[in-house]
Amino acid sequence: MVQASIISPKVVRWVRTRLGCTADECAALLRIKPDRFVAMENGSKPVSMTNATKLAQLVLKPVGMLMGSNPPVFKPGVADFRTVGNEEISNVSVQLEAILIHAQECQDWYADMREDNGYAPFSFGRCISLQTPIEEAAEKVKQLLSISDSDRNQCKNSDAYYKLVVNRIERNNILVMQNGNVGNNNKQKLNVKEFRGFALSDKYAPLIFINTSDSTNARTFTLIHEFVHLLLGNTGVSSPEYDPDPPNGVEQYCNAVAAEYLIPKKVLIEYSKSCAPLDYEKLYKLASRQRISFAVVAISALKHHLISKPKFDECYLQYSKTVKESQLKAKKKRGGPTFEVVAAKRFGLPFIKAVLTEVKYGSLNPSDACHLLGIKEMKSTERLGAYVWGKEGFDA
């Protein structure tokens, strides 16, 4: 009796093309012989449950999603701001697809919870438009975040400033999620060259996701950039920060507003007059003073014609070498933060508190809570709850 195939040949072929692999490469990933994989793809050999599970893991999907006769369809409803137009995003890695799907699941749950419990909707969506002057939009960001120059200067470093901005954005009832991997899978890294962040607009649960594979300085710019997207009422995946002239008009606007907020044109011009001509050391000093990325300062100086393009290229090359050296040092460090600290950073305290509260009062199934928080066992939520509420527990 011929064994039935768990997955159809069409789906096997889809997995291979989705990964951009050859038959030999896919066979190596599955740890089977190449001719066996070819036979699975052309239908002459059945796909066992073991290989079906491995194929599903490669594309970061539950095996059940691959058991239909046709491949699963990804319909994110998310604009791709990395391109000239605002078409729906399509050509993305399996890692970014998985992150988008999970973020949307979390957002849907959080939005329903807030609406059901009578919370007020997000009131700042579409409070600006692409016609709003850059300085005016940056002033709106400043009003909403309520971070003074003194607040920024009191931050010991750029990491502290980034945390302050996250906290102030969350105060505006916006979810901020961060990760450099797909869930807890350290083998599934998020590529910073593909995306640095995205924004998911919603009436009750606007959400920002930040790719933590990036440096802290760069994340601050991305965070403000995505915040501007939400003020515009946009949903989409954004261009990398280091593109000084993105092809999409919405991206250009968000970049300009974020830069104006982080390093106002007036401040940059005054600094340039006080220590002209600008060079790498002077730009780096200003970036450190503002607790932001060197790239933001350098690109702003170029945009405002305070340095030439050749000078910008020279400074940026020097900066790139410094970044690579820092990344190499970071890789050599061992150890890391605890589970509670990592989870709190990934999902944000408002989301975690909401999930655990709904579980406590029976409004959310524990297994669903585990799925939302990427936790395998509910007993882990006790540690997480103690961390987010303090030692007194859920009633603190």
Same domain, 145 and 199: yes
Please report, to the nearest 10 degrees, the dihedral formed by the alpha carbons of residues 224, 295, 260, 234 taken in order.
Answer: -40
Same domain, 241 and 270: no
Which residue reads 């998985």 in tokens? Answer: 98
Which is nearest to 303 in space by CA: 263, 331, 343? 263
- In the structure, how many helices (H) and strands (E) does the chain have? 18, 7
Q: pLDDT for 348-385, tens place per residue? A: 999 999 999 999 899 999 999 999 999 888 788 888 88
SS3 of residue 61 by DSSP: coil
How many C-beta atoms lie closer than 10 Å to residue 370's C-beta? 17
Same domain, 282 and 169: no
Predicted TM-score of the model (pTM): 0.91
Same domain, 258 and 281: no
Same domain, 219 and 276: no
Q: Which residues contact 86 (CB under 8 A, 6 or more apart)?
A: 79, 80, 236, 248, 250
Query: Over its length of 396 residues, how does the chain's per-residue pLDDT go in tens digits?
Result: 456 788 999 999 999 999 999 999 999 999 999 999 999 999 999 999 999 999 999 999 999 999 988 999 887 789 888 887 667 787 889 999 999 999 999 999 999 999 999 999 999 999 999 999 999 999 999 999 999 999 999 999 999 999 999 999 999 999 999 999 998 888 899 999 899 999 999 999 999 999 998 888 889 999 999 999 999 999 999 876 666 678 888 999 999 999 999 999 999 999 999 998 999 999 999 999 999 999 999 999 999 999 999 999 999 999 988 887 777 776 666 567 888 889 999 999 999 999 999 998 999 999 999 999 998 887 888 888 888 887 444 443
Same domain, 61 and 182: no
306 vs 91: CA distance, rounded Å: 37
Q: How far is CA 123 from CA 200, 201, 204, 286, in A?
A: 15, 12, 9, 34
CATH code, 56: 1.10.260.40
pLDDT at 93: 92
Same domain, 90 and 142: yes
pLDDT at 357: 93
Convert 34-43 to b/e letters by CB count within 10 Å (16 or more is b): eeebbbbbee
pLDDT at 65: 92
- How distant is the alpha carbon of residue 115 from its chain centre? 25
Q: In this structure, is residue 335 part of a structural domain?
A: no
DSSP string, 19-44: HT--HHHHHHHHTS-HHHHHHHHHTS
Q: Strand 79-80 to strand 236-237: parallel, antiparallel, or no bridges (unpaired)?
A: parallel
Q: How far is CA 326 from CA 196, 210, 222, 322, in A?
A: 19, 20, 20, 6
Same domain, 173 and 288: no
Helix axis angle for 339-347 and 380-389, nearest 10°, is 70
User: What is the residue range of 305's domain?
Assistant: 266-322
Q: In this structure, is residue 1 part of a structural domain?
A: no
Contact assessment for residue 290 and residue 319, using Cβ atoms and an 8 Å cutoff? no
Q: In this structure, is residue 395 part of a structural domain?
A: no
Helix ranges, 348-391 (H): 349-360, 366-373, 380-389
Q: Number of structural domains, the chain?
A: 4
pLDDT at 365: 92
Tell me the CB-side half-sphere exposure of residue 111, using CA atoms within 13 A: 15
